[in-house]
C-alpha cells in the first residue's frame, strides 16, 4: 500500500495543534487561578488563617476575698500548667537527635518526669505518644513542682513540653467559712458560694493571646500577640466581707465541737449585727475544704445557714408574742390560763412536760415556753393576721443576702389553715424558715423594730482604691414599735436569767434568748419520728444588743432539747467572742480575764501603711492616751478636743494621711 508522504509541513501542523493546546491550557489555568484566588480568595484566606491561629485564653488572678479587717480568706496566684505537644516531641529533628540507646524522647521524658510529677510512667508515655498537638499533662503545678519539672526538661533537652500560666485559687483558712466563700472550678469560674455570686466581680481579666503556629503546633517566631498585654495584669477588685475572722474562727470551732458532742446530722450558726444586718460570722456543717472541694460530697457544699428550711418551734414564740403585743391582744402582764394541755378542734396541744402552771402573766408564757398560752394568743390572732405578720417579719421570702441558693421558706395560705393549724403556728409549727430568716426576725426585736436587709459584703474595692460597692444598713420596714420590742427583749432576757434558757447564761452579761426544739419534717411528709431540730437564738447585751446569734443543730443524737444542746453552744461561743471583742460585762460579776490588758491591746486598731501614708483607723470609743499611742507609731500627732472617749475624728477613718500630719479627735 502506497501511503502519502509525510512532509515537514505536515509535522509542523501537528506541532501547531499541540502548541495551541498548550496555550489553551494556560488560559484555563489562569481562569482557574482567577476563580480560586480572586473570586474565592477571602474564603480560603480565612480558612488558612483559622488553621494556623492558636488563641490561648489567660486569666489574670482572681480578686481577693478578705474579711472586714482585710484578712485574706481567698487569694489567687498564677501557677504553671504543663502540656505536651506530642507531634513536636516525637517528630522534630530535635526529638530524633535526642534518641539515645535506641529509646525515643517520649520514653525518656516519661521516665524522667514520672517521679517529679508523681504520675504513672506508662500513663505519661501513652500521653506523650498520642496523636495531636495539645494535651494537658498536669494543671496547676505547685511552684516547687514546676521548678523541678523545668529542671528535668532543661537537663534532658526534652522538646514538646510547655507551660501555660493559670490562676489558682487558695483558701488560706482551709474550711473556714467554706460555704460562704464557695469555690472555683479549673477555668476560674465560681461554682458555689460568693465565688459564684460575685463571679463577674472577682473573675480575673481575661486576655486572649493569639499566635500563629506551624503545622506541628509550634509557635511561629514573632507571631505572638504583644506579650506586654498579658504581663500588665490589671488587678481585679477586692471583696471585703462583713465577716470577722476572729468570730468566724470561734463559731467554726464551736460547730466542730458541737458536731462531735451531739452527733448531729448538720448544724448552722449565724452571728449578726442586730443594728445593721451585717453578718459577722456564718458557719455550716457538714463542711469541706474549698481547696479540694471535689473530695467532699456535694451536700457538704450546702450553706445550711441560708438554704436549710425547718420548723422553728419555740424560737418562733417571741415573734408570735410580738404579734400579740402589737395587735393589743395581750400585754406582758395579761393573765393567761395554763392547764398543761389545750384542745383545738380535734387536736390536743400539750406543754413539753404536759404540766400546767395555772394562771400566769403572758411574760411567763415566753419565759417558760408555755405552749397552751401561745396557742391562745394564736387563736385570737387568727390565720390572716398570723400569716400577714409572718410576712412582715420577713418569712416566706428569701432575705436577699448576696449568697446564692437561698431558700424562701414556706408559709401557709391563710385560707387553707384549719383551727389546729392556726393554733400550732403560734408555737412555731406549720411554718418553714431558714436560719437566716429566723435570726433576722429576732434582730428586729433586738434593734427596736427594724426588719433589716442582711448583707455579707462590706465593700468591694477597685485596684485604685475606689469603692465600687458598699454594703450598708438597709431597713426593709419597721415591723414593731420600739415599745413592743423592748417588752419582748425583757421577756427574752428572763428566758435566760430565770426561764428555760438558763443554760445560755454567762456570768456578768445580760443575755436575751429563746430555746427551740421542733420535730423534723420528714422528706416523706409528716414528721420524722425521733428526729429534732434543736435551736437557740439570742442577743447580747439584752438592753443594748451588739450581737445576735442563732445556733441550729439538725437531728442531734441523745439529748435533743434546744436548751440542752444548742444553748450551751450559744453560751460558749458568745463567751469567747465577748472576751475577744472586749465587751464589758454589764455588772460587777465580770470575768477577771477582761481586766488583763493583753487581750484588749491586741485588738486595738492600728495604722495601715499605704504608699508611704497611713490609713487612719476608727478611734471612736477609745481614750486619748490610747489614740496618742497609736498615732505615735506613724509619727502622727493628736489634737484632742474635750475629754472622755472619742466620738468624732478628722480626718475620718479610712483616710490616708502623711507622716507628721495632725489628727483631730473629739472626746466626750
Partner 1 sequence: MREKFLIFENVRQAIIICVVLLLGFGLGNNLSASYARSEMMTGSQYFFTLRYVLYSVVGLLCMLFVGSRFDYHRLLSPRFLKLSGTGTILLLMLVRVAGRVVNGSRRWLGAGPVSFQPSELAKVVAILIAAGFLGEYLRRGQRISLLHWPKAAPLAFALAASGLVLIQPDMGTAAIILGLMLYMYIIAGIPKGQVLSIFIVGLAGAAGIAVLAPYRLNRLKVWLDPFIDPQGAGYQMVQAKLAIGSGGLFGMHWGQGTSKFFYLPEAHTDFAFAVFCQEWGFLGALVLICLFALLAGAFYRLAIRTQDRKGFLLTCGCSFLIIGQSVANMAMVAGLLPVIGVPLMFISYGGTSLVINFFCIGLILSVYRLEAAREIREERMAAGLPPEDRNGLRVVHRGEDGRRGR
Which window, 17-25, 149-157, 285-293, 468-476, contacts partner 1 (CB under 8 A)? 17-25
Size of interface with partner 1, in residues (CB under 8 A): 45
- Work out whether 15 is an interface residue with partner 1 (CB under 8 A): yes
Give 98 or 454: the residue with its C-beta nearer to partner 1: 98
- Work out whether 12 is an interface residue with partner 1 (CB under 8 A): yes
Other beta carbons within 10 Å of 622: 20
- Work out whether 263 is an interface residue with partner 1 (CB under 8 A): no
Chain Cα centroid distance, residue 226: 36
- Work out whether 38 is an interface residue with partner 1 (CB under 8 A): yes
Which window, 212-220, 395-403, 406-414, 436-444, contacts partner 1 (CB under 8 A)? 212-220
- Work out whether 222 is an interface residue with partner 1 (CB under 8 A): no
Contacts of 576 (CB under 8 A, 6+ apart): 250
Of the residues 120, 147, 214, 603, which one makes contact with partner 1 according to CB under 8 A: 214
Binders of partner 1 in range 292-351 (CB under 8 A): none
Provide, rounded to whole angstroms, the least separation between the CB of residue 4 and partner 1: 8
Q: Look-up: residue for cell 480565612? A: 46
- Work out whether 23 is an interface residue with partner 1 (CB under 8 A): yes
Provide, rounded to whole angstroms, the least separation between the CB of residue 212 and partner 1: 7
Can you read off the three cell numbers belonging to residue 466? 475606689
Give 50 or 611: the residue with its C-beta nearer to partner 1: 50
Cβ atoms 301, 179 nearer than 8 A: yes
- Work out whether 36 is an interface residue with partner 1 (CB under 8 A): yes
- Work out whether 3 is an interface residue with partner 1 (CB under 8 A): yes
Give 87 or 510: the residue with its C-beta nearer to partner 1: 87
User: C-alpha angle 427/429/433, rounded to 5°?
Assistant: 110
Cβ atoms 177, 282 nearer than 8 A: yes
Contacts of 493 (CB under 8 A, 6+ apart): 510, 511, 512, 542
Provide, rounded to whole angstroms, the least separation between the CB of residue 156 and partner 1: 20
- Work out whether 593 is an interface residue with partner 1 (CB under 8 A): no
Which window, 12-20, 113-121, 245-253, 421-429, contacts partner 1 (CB under 8 A)? 12-20
Q: Show the site string, 468-507: x = touches partner 1 by CB under 8 A, - = not.
A: ----------------------------------------
Binders of partner 1 in range 526-545 (CB under 8 A): none
Q: Which long-range contacts (CB under 8 A, 24 or more apart) does 566-569 make?
A: 566/515, 566/516, 566/534, 566/535, 566/536, 567/501, 567/503, 567/504, 567/513, 567/515, 567/536, 568/503, 568/504, 569/254, 569/257, 569/258, 569/269, 569/536
- Work out whether 157 is an interface residue with partner 1 (CB under 8 A): no
Provide, rounded to whole angstroms, the least separation between the CB of residue 90 and partner 1: 14
- Distance, CA of 464 to CA of 176 (rounded, Å): 29
- Work out whether 77 is an interface residue with partner 1 (CB under 8 A): no
Give 147 or 157: the residue with its C-beta nearer to partner 1: 157
- Work out whether 130 is an interface residue with partner 1 (CB under 8 A): no
Provide, rounded to whole angstroms, the least separation between the CB of residue 208 and partner 1: 20
Residue 5 carries which DSSP code?
P
Of the residues 77, 130, 210, 220, which one makes contact with partner 1 according to CB under 8 A: 220
Residue 459 carries which DSSP code?
E
Provide, rounded to whole angstroms, the least separation between the CB of residue 18 and partner 1: 7
Give 220 or 345: the residue with its C-beta nearer to partner 1: 220
Cβ atoms 357, 368 nearer than 8 A: yes
The strand pair at 238-241 and 65-66 is best described as parallel
- Distance, CA of 88 to CA of 134 (rounded, Å): 10
Which window, 208-216, 478-486, 606-614, 619-627, contacts partner 1 (CB under 8 A)? 208-216
Phi/psi of residue 77, nearest 5 degrees: -130, 160
DSSP reduced 3-state for 341: strand
- Work out whether 30 is an interface residue with partner 1 (CB under 8 A): yes
Nearest to 152 by CA among 123, 109, 99: 109
- Work out whether 215 is an interface residue with partner 1 (CB under 8 A): yes
Give 4 or 592: the residue with its C-beta nearer to partner 1: 4
Which window, 210-218, 386-394, 397-405, 500-508, contacts partner 1 (CB under 8 A)? 210-218
Binders of partner 1 in range 82-101 (CB under 8 A): 92-93
- Work out whether 598 is an interface residue with partner 1 (CB under 8 A): no
Can you read off the three cell numbers belonging to residue 585? 460585762
- Distance, CA of 385 to CA of 418 (rounded, Å): 14
The 279-285 sheet, strands edge to edge? 279-285, 266-272, 547-554, 527-540, 512-521
Provide, rounded to whole angstroms, the least separation between the CB of residue 96 and partner 1: 10
> Counting Cβ atoms within 10 Å, is residue 329 exposed (0-12), middle (13-18) or buried (19+)?
middle
Provide, rounded to whole angstroms, the least separation between the CB of residue 104 and partner 1: 18
Can you read off the three cell numbers belonging to residue 591? 470575768
Q: What's the CA dihedral at 209, 214, 220, 224 to 10 degrees?
A: -10
Which window, 26-34, 254-262, 416-424, 644-652, contacts partner 1 (CB under 8 A)? 26-34
Alpha-carbon distances, residue 138 vs 100, 187, 447, 616 (angstroms): 26, 14, 54, 46
- Distance, CA of 312 to CA of 662 (rounded, Å): 54
Cβ atoms 381, 389 nearer than 8 A: yes
Which window, 148-156, 214-222, 226-234, 267-275, contacts partner 1 (CB under 8 A)? 214-222
Provide, rounded to whole angstroms, the least separation between the CB of residue 220 and partner 1: 6
Which residue blocks in 407-513 are alpha helix, DSSP H? 419-425, 435-446, 482-497
Cβ atoms 516, 562 nearer than 8 A: yes
Of the residues 52, 164, 191, 476, which one makes contact with partner 1 according to CB under 8 A: 52
Provide, rounded to whole angstroms, the least separation between the CB of residue 207 and partner 1: 24
Of the residues 211, 212, 341, 347, which one makes contact with partner 1 according to CB under 8 A: 212
Give 38 or 598: the residue with its C-beta nearer to partner 1: 38
Give 21 or 298: the residue with its C-beta nearer to partner 1: 21
- Work out whether 559 is an interface residue with partner 1 (CB under 8 A): no
Q: Which residues lie near partner 1 (CB under 8 A)? A: 3-8, 10-12, 14-16, 18-19, 22-23, 25-26, 28-30, 32-34, 36-38, 40-45, 47-49, 51-52, 92-93, 212, 214-216, 220
Amino acid at each position: 500500500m502506497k501511503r502519502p508522504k509525510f512532509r515537514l509541513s505536515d509535522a509542523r501542523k501537528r506541532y501547531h495543534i499541540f502548541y495551541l493546546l498548550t496555550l489553551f491550557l494556560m488560559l484555563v489555568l489562569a481562569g482557574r487561578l482567577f476563580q480560586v484566588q480572586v473570586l474565592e480568595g477571602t474564603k480560603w484566606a480565612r480558612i488558612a488563617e483559622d488553621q494556623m491561629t492558636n488563641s490561648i485564653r489567660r486569666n489574670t488572678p482572681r480578686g481577693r476575698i478578705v474579711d472586714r479587717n482585710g484578712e485574706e480568706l481567698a487569694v489567687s496566684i498564677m501557677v504553671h500548667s504543663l502540656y505536651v505537644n506530642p507531634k513536636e516531641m516525637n517528630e522534630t529533628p530535635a526529638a530524633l537527635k535526642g534518641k539515645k540507646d535506641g529509646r525515643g524522647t517520649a520514653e525518656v521524658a516519661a521516665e524522667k518526669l514520672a517521679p517529679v510529677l508523681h504520675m504513672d510512667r506508662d500513663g505519661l508515655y501513652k500521653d506523650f505518644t498520642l496523636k495531636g498537638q495539645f494535651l494537658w499533662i498536669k494543671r496547676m503545678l505547685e511552684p516547687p513542682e514546676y521548678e523541678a519539672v523545668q529542671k528535668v526538661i532543661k537537663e534532658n533537652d526534652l522538646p514538646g513540653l510547655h507551660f501555660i500560666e493559670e490562676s489558682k485559687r487558695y483558701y488560706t483558712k482551709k474550711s473556714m467559712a467554706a460555704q460562704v466563700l464557695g469555690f472555683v472550678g479549673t477555668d476560674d469560674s465560681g461554682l458555689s458560694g460568693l465565688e459564684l455570686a460575685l463571679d463577674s466581680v472577682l473573675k480575673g481579666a481575661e486576655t486572649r493571646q493569639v499566635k500563629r503556629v506551624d503545622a506541628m503546633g509550634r509557635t511561629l517566631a514573632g507571631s505572638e500577640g504583644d506579650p506586654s498585654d498579658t504581663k500588665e495584669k490589671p488587678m481585679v477588685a477586692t471583696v471585703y466581707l462583713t465577716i470577722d475572722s476572729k468570730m468566724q474562727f470561734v463559731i467554726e470551732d464551736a460547730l466542730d465541737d458541737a458536731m462531735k458532742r451531739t452527733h448531729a446530722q448538720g448544724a448552722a450558726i449565724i452571728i449578726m449585727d442586730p443594728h445593721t444586718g451585717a453578718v459577722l460570722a456564718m458557719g455550716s456543717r457538714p463542711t469541706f475544704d474549698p481547696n479540694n472541694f471535689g473530695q467532699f460530697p456535694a451536700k457538704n457544699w450546702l450553706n445550711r445557714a441560708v438554704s436549710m428550711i425547718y420548723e422553728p418551734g419555740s424560737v418562733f414564740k417571741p415573734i408570735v408574742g410580738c404579734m400579740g403585743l402589737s395587735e393589743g391582744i395581750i400585754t406582758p402582764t395579761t393573765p393567761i390560763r395554763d392547764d398543761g394541755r389545750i384542745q383545738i378542734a380535734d387536736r390536743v396541744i400539750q406543754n413539753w412536760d404536759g404540766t400546767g402552771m395555772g394562771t400566769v402573766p403572758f411574760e411567763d408564757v415566753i419565759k417558760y415556753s408555755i405552749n397552751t398560752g401561745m396557742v391562745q394568743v394564736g387563736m385570737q390572732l387568727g390565720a390572716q393576721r398570723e400569716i400577714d405578720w409572718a410576712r412582715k417579719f420577713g418569712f416566706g421570702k428569701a432575705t436577699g443576702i448576696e449568697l446564692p441558693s437561698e431558700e424562701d421558706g414556706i408559709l401557709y395560705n391563710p385560707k387553707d389553715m384549719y383551727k389546729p393549724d392556726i393554733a400550732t403556728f403560734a408555737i412555731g409549727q406549720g411554718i418553714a424558715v431558714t436560719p437566716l430568716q429566723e435570726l433576722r426576725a429576732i434582730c428586729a426585736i433586738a434593734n427596736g423594730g427594724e426588719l433589716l436587709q442582711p448583707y455579707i459584703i462590706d465593700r468591694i474595692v477597685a485596684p485604685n482604691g475606689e469603692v465600687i460597692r458598699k454594703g450598708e444598713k438597709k431597713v426593709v420596714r419597721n415591723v414593731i414599735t420600739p415599745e413592743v420590742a423592748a417588752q419582748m427583749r425583757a421577756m427574752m432576757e428572763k428566758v435566760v436569767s430565770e426561764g428555760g434558757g438558763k443554760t445560755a447564761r454567762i456570768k456578768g452579761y445580760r443575755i436575751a434568748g429563746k430555746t427551740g426544739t421542733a420535730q423534723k419534717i420528714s422528706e416523706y411528709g409528716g414528721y420524722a419520728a425521733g428526729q429534732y431540730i434543736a435551736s437557740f437564738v439570742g442577743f447580747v447585751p439584752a438592753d443594748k444588743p451588739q450581737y445576735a446569734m442563732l445556733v441550729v443543730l439538725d437531728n442531734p443524737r441523745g439529748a435533743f432539747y434546744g436548751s440542752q444542746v444548742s444553748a450551751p453552744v450559744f453560751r460558749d461561743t458568745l463567751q469567747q467572742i465577748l472576751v475577744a471583742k472586749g465587751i464589758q460585762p454589764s455588772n460587777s460579776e465580770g470575768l477577771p480575764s477582761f481586766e488583763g490588758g493583753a487581750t484588749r491591746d491586741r485588738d486595738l486598731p492600728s495604722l495601715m501603711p499605704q504608699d508611704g501614708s497611713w490609713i487612719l483607723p476608727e478611734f471612736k470609743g477609745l481614750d486619748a492616751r490610747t489614740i496618742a499611742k497609736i498615732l505615735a507609731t506613724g509619727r502622727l500627732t493628736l489634737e484632742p478636743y474635750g475629754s472622755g472617749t472619742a466620738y468624732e475624728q478628722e480626718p475620718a477613718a479610712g483616710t490616708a494621711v502623711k507622716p507628721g500630719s495632725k489628727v483631730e479627735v473629739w472626746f466626750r
